[in-house]
Amino acid sequence: MLLILLLMMGSVCDSKGQGTDSIPTASAVDPVGGETRLRNEQQQRVHRTTVWAACLPGAGQLANQKYWKAPIVWGAMGYMVDYCAFNVKQFRYAKAQLRAETDDDPATVNVSGLTSTALTESAIFYRRNRDLAIMGLLGIHLLSVLDANVDAHLMDFDISDDLKASLFCEPFSAQAGIRLCW
């Protein structure tokens, strides 16, 4: 499972399309204006932040200078890793005790005091929780990438004080409405 996760993250971090990209590369220069035809600075920042966030949890939040969000991502992912490790440990214990209960070897003894039915249910319970913890870990990572991408898009969003809405009515014409100015 870890190998698959690493391969998926590697493909996200180093993905190259087969065809030509609709956005020109950094080496393309407009000979008339001297300006590059590459992605503008905001698009580059969004792309770079998203790639960083996909490759390293919390890096997108740090790149967006939202320093308070990175520990939240790390804490949530750490909790899910710990929860997964706990469930793996309990699942292995339940399986070992079930094996000791159901084999015909008198040298192995079930020390848990549970019946084979209870041990089977316990093993199923902890396996299910382990799988949910892995899905939760992937979900938290996906949400952190999405958060970093949205924050990178909103970095240049205009939030100045000169945004206003006003009602207007022109008395000598049949016009009335709302005017938005920014």
For residues 36 and 30, the answer to whether their CB atoms sit within 8 Å is yes
Confidence of residue 16 (pLDDT cuts 50, 70, 90): very low
What's the pLDDT at 39?
53
Q: Is the pTM of this model over 0.85?
A: no
Picking from 47, 21, 26, the residue whose alpha carbon sits closest to that of residue 38 is 26
Give pLDDT tens digits for 75-130: 999 999 999 999 999 999 999 999 988 888 888 888 888 899 999 999 999 999 99
Cα distance between residue 62 and residue 76, in whole Å: 16
Place of tokens 């809405």: 165
Domain ranges of the chain: 39-156
